[in-house]
Amino acid sequence: MSLRIKGGRVIDPANSLDQVVDIVIENGKIASVGAVPKGFRADQTIDAKDKIVCPGFVDLRARLREPGLEYKGTIESETRAAAASGITTLCCPPDTTPVCDNPSVVELIYQRAAASRKARVLCMGALTVGLEGRLTSEMKALADVGCVGVSNGYKPVRDTLVMRRAMEYASGHNLTVFIHAEDTWLRGGGVAHEGPVSTRLGLAPIPEFAETIAVARELALIEHTGARAHFCGLSTARAVNMITQAQEEGMPVTADVNMHNLFLTEMDLLDFNAQCHVRPPLRSQRDREGLRAGLLSGAISAITTDHQPHDSDAKFGPISETEPGISGLETFLLLGLRLVKDKVLTLSQLISLISSGPAQILGLPVGNLSVDSTADLCIFDPEISNTVDAKRFLSRGQNTPFDGWELDGRVTHTILDGQLVFTAE
Amino acid sequence: MGYKNSIQLTKDKKLRHFLTIEGLPRAILVEILDNAESFLTVGEQQVKKVPLLRGKVIVNLFFENSTRTRTTFELAAKRLSADVLNLNIATSATSKGESLLDTLQNLEAMHADMFVVRHALSGASFFIANHVAPHISVINAGDGCYAHPTQAMLDMLTIRKHFGAFADLNVAIVGDILHSRVARSEIHALTTLGVNEVRVIAPKTLLPSAIESMGVHVYNDMNKGLEGVDVIIMLRLQKERMDGAFVPSEEEYFNCYGLTEEKLRLANSHAIVMHPGPINRGVEIESSVADGKQSVILEQVSNGIAARMAIMSMCMSGIAAGEV
């Protein structure tokens, strides 16, 4: 199978490329970028005129809900949504049911993903058994079956000694530890950022320092253990500053931010909108600006969907009774393009933050269009305007606060391993 | 914050739900107080009824137990000649797995006209108002730590009866502001009606982080906070606050924030003492103060019926007359 993508504007930040050229794909690999080999005849040609051609997107965190919560989503339904959104690689956090703390769960997920063949699914193994924060998991065994890192998901390890040992052990096996920095004591039963809005609405508060205290603890442990660590979904400007400082000191730490935290703030909760119930919570305007600045400074090197599809009941009720999370796959690129339109990022910066940036964090050879690399690509039209309509999501989760937003951009083709896995109607 | 009015008011700015004081125009609050005053005399008549809500079905939907509030709502509805249904959901359908929405739909099918809702979670009244049929009015009888707007209005009625006007008054709210829906609604009502100053007096552990953004002055020292105040609103301290490191002990709390005769002397000599009840004698207030001549705690209860009659009748006529 060979494919020629003709006349598109190719943006490949990893190779500092931004120009109108043809791309040829053969046997699942990028065969050439630019000059088409003499005598080459493509089985199929895609006309990409006026479109952007870039590496397929890499998402560090998308919950597929399988196994265990198939009424919220399945590997089949969610990878189909990913393909339609230009996402070719996604990492699945370990908080499935059962927990992804042993090779059999990983193998099950990989088998189902292989059957659906819509996206490259990668597992994040559990850092501790059952995510209970007591015993370190068999990380070597998890790595051997293809886990790309270890994490305790949304259940931060409370016991600092256990966390120390888990980091030491992970670093011995050369595994990156993915951390949700949150002091669970300070979080308590909180649902909203501690500030004017939680004060007014009488919602249990989550203070900013629930995040910064946890970041400080983990940084101290990283410094001691030498573990390579990645901070997931930072929500506060102060935490971004702490990561910046750690990076300046040469510590092996990286960080990402959830796409929705770059747009929404605590103010969006004022009408008790359960769609804005997320974890970490939507914070202040100042925090949102700090997160955006972190993208530019390089402190934050990836943007994630933090995709969490929910059934409608999960979001139906007084806000503190609802489950946190947003179905984020299908608005991902569109919101990213809004950042470009609003001049927060250049198009090339955006593409880097959603492809080569996260690929580098994972240490995987995806997210670029180098010759001979895996042919994962996304082709999109940046101009088409849409009104977000959650009812038309391919994901089983229609839970989004962006329903009804006017956003530009549409994915027209997604190519995984040289195969077209999505073509727009 | 316009969205709140978009649900509380009809297109021609009449009250249709009563969920929070925040954002309501002063004129509506004054109208509630004026109507409430005219209803005050109903209770003194031989026949304690007016036919304003005859043929209407009002459902007291209590997801959280409260005898006192439910009783005054029931009396208010009956004095307006409505039929009243009391449902304690805390011990009823939802614990059998029936969803909140199913319960509401069943009640709508019984042709209810108004839901009076008490719920343990902040914002529950908004959630219900957003999901009921358009002919149904929802009154918030207290939801979580968010709002208890009818309590605030009956307190405003009590204050106005004593002082006639709001402009020169200094009002202190004392105690567990953090968990108090009463405090939040009182603050909105007092600032909307334009008192001179609202103070909150509490230990830092019982104050929400951004309380000053609601337009109040904060005092951690009760002796300083009471100087020159005309109205003292005491809040109930829930026993369970002893467990969460909010306050070290009842004794220490009483010593610092309990209203004693001695502390009361720091306020203006004509000051009145209020409490939404039920009171914890010896925890937040000394018995002799609760029963003393400056206490208006029992007056608040009678005013509660009149204020709720005013709010219920205004909501029903708003919903009947106005376009949604």
Q: Each residue of B100-147: pLDDT tens digit?
A: 778 888 888 888 999 999 999 999 999 999 988 889 999 999 999 999
Helix (H) or strand (E) holding A17: strand A17-26
Inter-CA distances, A281 with A263, A269, A291, A293, A326, Å: 12, 10, 14, 19, 12
Interface of A with B (CB under 8 A): 194-196, 198-203, 205, 207, 270-272, 313, 316-321
Give the distance from residue A313's alpha carbon to the nearest chain B alpha carbon, in angstroms.
10
* Claim to verify: residue B239 and residue B139 sit in the same structural domain: no
pLDDT at B237 over 80: yes
A13 upstream amide cis, omega within 30 of 0: no
Q: Which residues in chain B (140-169) have CB-CB distances under 8 A to chain A? A: 143-147
pLDDT at site B108: 85
What distance in Å separates the CA atoms of residue B258 and residue B286, rounded to the nearest whole number?
7
Helix (H) or strand (E) holding A410: strand A406-416
* Claim to verify: residue B74 and residue B134 sit in the same structural domain: yes
pLDDT digits (tens, 9 = 90+) for A97-149: 999 999 999 999 999 999 999 999 999 999 999 999 999 999 999 999 999 99
pLDDT digits (tens, 9 = 90+) for A144-159: 999 999 999 999 999 9
* Claim to verify: residue B66 and residue B52 sit in the same structural domain: yes
A358 upstream amide cis, omega within 30 of 0: no
Which is it for the CA torsion B71, B77, B82, B86, positive or negative?
A: negative
Report the 10 Å Cβ neighbour count for A305. Answer: 29
What's the whole-number average pLDDT of chain A? 96
The candidate with the shortest Cα–Cα distance to A150, out of A99, A188, A220, is: A99
CA angle A350, A351, A352 (to 5 degrees): 90
* Claim to verify: residue B128 and residue B219 sit in the same structural domain: no
What distance in Å separates the CA atoms of residue B79 and residue B45, rounded to the nearest whole number?
11
Tell which of A185, A193, A194, A199 to mutate to test the B interface (max B CBs under 10 Å).
Answer: A199
Give the distance from residue A120's alpha carbon to the nearest chain B alpha carbon, in angstroms.
39
* Claim to verify: residue B141 and residue B250 sit in the same structural domain: no
What distance in Å separates the CA atoms of residue B210 and residue B225, rounded to the nearest whole number?
19
* Claim to verify: residue B142 and residue B167 sit in the same structural domain: no
Q: What's the structural domain count of chain B?
A: 2
B270 with B230: CB under 8 angstroms?
yes
Classify residue A392 by burial, with Cβ atoms within 10 Å: 0-12, 13-18, 19+.
Answer: exposed
Classify residue B141 by burial, with Cβ atoms within 10 Å: 0-12, 13-18, 19+.
Answer: buried
DSSP annotation string for A171-187: HHTTPPEEE----HHHH
B323 pLDDT band (50/70/90 cuts)?
A: low
pLDDT at site A282: 98
* Claim to verify: residue B185 and residue B311 sit in the same structural domain: no
Buried b (16+ CB within 10 A) or exposed e, B18-55: bbbbbbbeeebbeebbebbbebbebeeeeeeebebbee
CB B143 to CB A318 under 8 A?
yes
Tell which of A191, A201, A315 to mutate to test the B interface (max B CBs under 10 Å).
Answer: A201
Helix/strand/coil percentages in chain A, nearest 5: 35, 25, 40
φ/ψ of residue A84, rounded to 5:
-70, -10
A303 with A262: CB under 8 angstroms?
yes
CB A317 to CB B100 under 8 A?
yes
What distance in Å separates the CA atoms of residue A353 and residue B249, rounded to the nearest whole number?
53
Check residue B109 and give left, alpha or beta (phi > 0: left; psi -120 to 50: alpha): alpha
pLDDT digits (tens, 9 = 90+) for A23-71: 999 999 999 999 888 888 889 999 999 999 999 999 999 999 999 999 9
From the candidates A12, A22, A95, A306, give the one annotated as an active-site residue: A306
pLDDT at A408 over 90: yes
What's CA B267's distance to the chain center, in Å? 24
End-to-end CA distance of chain B: 19
Secondary structure (H, E, C), chain B: CHHHHHHHECCCCCECCECCCCCCCHHHHHHHHHHHHHHHHHHHCCCCCCCCCCCCEEEEEECCCCHHHHHHHHHHHHHCCCEEEEEEHHHCHHHHCCCHHHHHHHHHHCCCCEEEEEECCCCHHHHHHHHCCCCCEEEEEEECCCECHHHHHHHHHHHHHHHCCCCCCEEEEECCCCCCHHHHHHHHHHHHHCCCEEEEECCHHHCCCCHHHHCCEEECCHHHHCCCCCEEEECCCCHHHHCCCCCCCHHHHHHHHCECHHHHCCCCCCCEEECCCCCCECCCECHHHHCCCCECHHHHHHHHHHHHHHHHHHHHHHHHHCCC
Residues 6+ apart with CB under 8 A from B26: B192, B193, B194
The candidate with the shortest Cα–Cα distance to A268, out of B3, B211, B7, B6, is: B3
Which SS3 state, helix, strand or coil, does residue A273 take?
Answer: coil
Contacts of B151 in chain A (CB under 8 A): none
Residues 6+ apart with CB under 8 A from B67: none
What distance in Å separates the CA atoms of residue A402 and residue A333, rounded to the nearest whole number?
13
Asked about A306 being catalytic, the answer comes back as: yes
The candidate with the shortest Cα–Cα distance to B32, out of B281, B317, B323, is: B317
* Claim to verify: residue B194 and residue B140 sit in the same structural domain: no
Residues 6+ apart with CB under 8 A from B269: none
What distance in Å separates the CA atoms of residue A425 and residue A410, rounded to the nearest whole number?
11
CB A316 to CB B101 under 8 A?
yes
β-bridge mates for residue A416, sequence order = A419
Which of B4, B124, B208 is opposite residue A199, by nearest beta carbon?
B208
Lowest mean pLDDT among A157-161, A227-231, A406-410, B89-93: B89-93
pLDDT at B324 over 70: no
Contacts of B3 in chain A (CB under 8 A): 270-271
CB B122 to CB A199 under 8 A?
no
Classify residue B77 by burial, with Cβ atoms within 10 Å: 0-12, 13-18, 19+.
Answer: buried
CATH of the domain at B100: 3.40.50.1370
pLDDT digits (tens, 9 = 90+) for B159-207: 999 999 999 999 999 999 999 999 999 999 999 999 999 999 999 999 9
* Claim to verify: residue B160 and residue B277 sit in the same structural domain: yes
A282 with A261: CB under 8 angstroms?
yes
* DSSP 8-state symbol, A31: E
What is the residue type of A380? F
Strands B57-62 and B114-119: parallel
Report the 10 Å Cβ neighbour count for B130. Answer: 13
CB A196 to CB B146 under 8 A?
no
* Claim to verify: residue B195 and residue B122 sit in the same structural domain: no
Residues 6+ apart with CB under 8 A from B74: B60, B84, B86
pLDDT digits (tens, 9 = 90+) for B25-46: 999 999 999 999 999 987 777 7
Domain that holds residue B107: 2-147+302-321
Which is it for the CA torsion A368, A371, A372, A376, positive or negative?
A: positive
The candidate with the shortest Cα–Cα distance to A256, out of A328, A158, A207, is: A328
* Claim to verify: residue B16 and residue B123 sit in the same structural domain: yes
* Claim to verify: residue B132 and residue B263 sit in the same structural domain: no
- Total-model pTM: 0.94
CB B123 to CB A317 under 8 A?
no
End-to-end CA distance of chain A: 22
CB B143 to CB A195 under 8 A?
no
For B8-35, what is the mean pLDDT? 94
